[in-house]
Structure 1
Amino acid sequence: MTSSIPIASTIAPSLSASTGATVELIGVVKNYGTHRALNSIDFSITPGEFVALLGPSGCGKTTALRALSGLELIDGGRIVIDGDDVAGVPTNKRDIGMVFQSYSLFPHLTAIENIEFGLRMRRVSASERRGRATEALDMVGLASFAERFAHQLSGGQQQRVALARALVTRPRVLLLDEPLSALDAKVRVQLRDEIRRIQIELGITTVFVTHDQEEALAVADRVAVMREGVIEQIGTPEELYSAPSTPFVADFVGLSNRIAAELVDGRVIVHGASMALLGEPMADGPVTAFVRPENVEIVSSGVPATVVSSSFLGSLRRTQVILSDDSLLSIQHHVDLRPQQGDPVFVRLTASPVSAVRRTL
């Protein structure tokens, strides 16, 4: 089955009546034995904001989400929703909707019955349950699939049902734990855009956990990059990409060339280019600079290099070259330029600011 299903253009008034909440994590600590999974993390989310938690496996992003939901008890700090500390409040009392990587649909219930389940637990009347579930199905474009069972739906359709089930209770906060990772690439892009559209129209505060930086940068208002239980940086996608505050963020978000350079009077000097240093000031000396592929150009004269490979990526090409010192550089450029393996070329680094880390000789 495919998931190319038309999506409703507007949100039903009864669903859009929900308003987003302010969410704060203040000094939150979570330990698993001797391992500290969350190391006094702090961040706040404004009503209706979409925040992504991004990082490698084991960085603590899912633990933070589970702590916010109440599925994990914290060992220190506070979790505050609309001014109320909910750290000791059970999950079912936090007014939170959750969507997981696994669809977790009841196989013996139809799509609309799955969506109604949370309302039934809240003792909502049968007529109201059916009306709200129907609206939720229409919201995710599955109005004609109401009577189908889970095994009769594709993965993308099942995840839409799971999303509708989370939203039908009109929660103040929506938590998404890698909800797209089990889907194929095309469906992932389609569904992530639909989730963002629905979130904007509902105005619901949303936290989205992912290890896929493209997903995070594409849909989030702000992204929190996590590493070893701490938040390295939180900011807009543009801020994280163009002004990473730490070398880890520069290396993790987007692609970067790691190039040997020298720091002189606060400027990074590499292959004839002088670039401003991002982040904290450093003492002069040898450093490794993190240079984006789009900040390297193929030019008519400059640093000699030899083409190693060149790949067509649709809207751009990515070419890898090797310099005389055996340094490898990746370059992103227009598709009309088609260098071939072995071609001699010249390259130049632009003067864009870069992050750097101390280099040991």
Structure 2
Amino acid sequence: MNDLIDRTDTGSLRVAAPVAFVDVVKRFAGGTTALDGISLALAPGELVALLGPSGCGKTTALRVLAGLERADEGHILIDGVDVIGTPTNQRDIGMVFQSYSLFPHLTALQNVEFGLRMRRVAAPERRRRAAEALELVGLDHHGARYAHQLSGGQQQRVALARALVTRPRVLLLDEPLSALDAKVRVQLREQIRGIQTELGITTVFVTHDQEEALAVADRVAVMRAGRIEQIGTPEELYARPASAFVADFVGLSNRMPGTVVDGSVAVGAQRLPLIDPDAPSGTAVALVRPEDIVFAAEGDADARRAVVLTTSFLGSLRRTRVRLDGGIEVTVQHEVGRHLAAGEAVHVRLTGRPVAVARP
């Protein structure tokens, strides 16, 4: 099945393409700066997720890479070649949109064939490759169906097959799962990641869903106001956020008042090491992950009294909201076997893992 993208129409071997944004600026009418000098390099075959809230510039970055928007400054490199002035249809990319954008009057097979038809690929070859692409996404028995006869997840897989069938060197995914229900979303993101890994295609995946980004990406670029706040592996972003914005956006954080002194932060009676030991001294807010707060025995020297507010069962874990003495509310992540009732008195303490801090 790797023949789907590993060879050009002339039979020569393809190599996954590196991609780079170099100081890219994009402004819209009215003075809005959507991209404020972003630079980002993707290795061949890497999947990078652009993650951030609405309006941060992630979709604009994708559209500039695709050639659907023209950058005002900077360079877009695909395999070392600046494609800023290159039309979309000559950039050797495949794109899957949030809306499936299938032609309703064509069957699934005909939809997948469409790009090959535009490239004047002969009909027998066109049908063979389209059938292979549908098989790759698990829809080899659905080729004769029209869009209205397919579920949302199946339509999105047809759109993915259509993007892959032309053997692009770069794949762009613009929030492709946001219109699907939770279970289908998880199944399809795993399938997309499996296909991307098998084919080794350089991929940019845009999403506002942090769980989705962390689950599928080799690296994640967290964007804010047209800039990249931090880029790193999912583990790096979660464990060592470079800013309070990243700590808040990637995963859950409890905001607890504290004081930074000599490379650590005092939170209540406990002192916690800092992710950034050079953080300036003074009043701060410690960003403490729910798993870094645990229930403790009453006699524990670091224990703080608390009252249970709510508790949520999440399958493999529970999250319980408690109010500490002094009125601060925090979330504790713990094992499912511990059942707590609203109003129950408990004690909690911090585990002592390094934390990020923000200014109050």
Unmatched 5+ residue regions in structure 2?
8-13
1:26 aligns with 2:16: no
- CA offsets 1:109-166 (integer angstroms, 9 cap, x no match): 1111111100010111111101100100110111111111111111111111000000
Shift of residue 280 of structure 1? Answer: 6.8
Amino acid of the residue matched to residue 80 of structure 1?
A: L
Are residues 172 and 15 of structure 1, via their aligned partners in 2, closer, same or farther at CA, if it must alter by over 3 Å?
closer
Equivalent positions of 1:282-321 (< 5 A) are: 282-301=279-298, 302-321=303-322
1:190 match: secondary structure? helix
Amino acid of the residue matched to residue 164 of structure 1?
A: A
Equivalent positions of 1:87-166 (< 5 A) are: 87-166=84-163
Amino acid of the residue matched to residue 196 of structure 1?
A: R
Shift of residue 16 of structure 1? Answer: 4.2
Alpha-carbon distance between aligned partners in 1 of 2:248 and 2:139, rounded to the nearest angstrom: 40
Shift of residue 12 of structure 1? Answer: 4.6
Contact 1:271 1:349 in 2 (8 A): no
Count of matched residue pairs: 349
Alpha-carbon distance between aligned partners in 1 of 2:353 and 2:263, rounded to the nearest angstrom: 14
2:260 match: secondary structure? strand
Alpha-carbon distance between aligned partners in 2 of 1:317 and 1:343, rounded to the nearest angstrom: 16
1:64 match: secondary structure? helix
Amino acid of the residue matched to residue 153 of structure 2?
A: G
Contact 1:310 1:317 in 2 (8 A): yes
Contact 2:53 2:208 in 1 (8 A): yes
Contact 1:111 1:149 in 2 (8 A): yes
Amino acid of the residue matched to residue 87 of structure 2?
A: P
Among all aligned residue pairs of Structure 1 and Structure 2, give the percentage whose two residues are the same amino acid. 63
RMSD: 1.0
Shift of residue 352 of structure 1? Answer: 0.7
Alpha-carbon distance between aligned partners in 1 of 2:270 and 2:91, rounded to the nearest angstrom: 54
Shift of residue 259 of structure 1? Answer: 0.6
Task: Report the TM-score, using the length of structure 1 for normalisation.
Answer: 0.95
Amino acid of the residue matched to residue 18 of structure 2?
A: T
Tell me what 1:13 maps to: 3
Contact 2:22 2:40 in 1 (8 A): yes
- CA offsets 1:174-215 (integer angstroms, 9 cap, x no match): 000000011111111110000000000000000000000010
Contact 1:305 1:323 in 2 (8 A): yes
Amino acid of the residue matched to residue 249 of structure 2?
A: F
Alpha-carbon distance between aligned partners in 2 of 1:13 and 1:322, rounded to the nearest angstrom: 58
Unmatched 5+ residue regions in structure 1?
1-10
Tell me what 2:244 maps to: 247
2:341 match: secondary structure? coil
Tell me what 1:167 maps to: 164
- CA offsets 1:69-122 (integer angstroms, 9 cap, x no match): 000000000000101000110100000000001110111111111111000101
Shift of residue 279 of structure 1? Answer: 3.3
1:85 aligns with 2:99: no
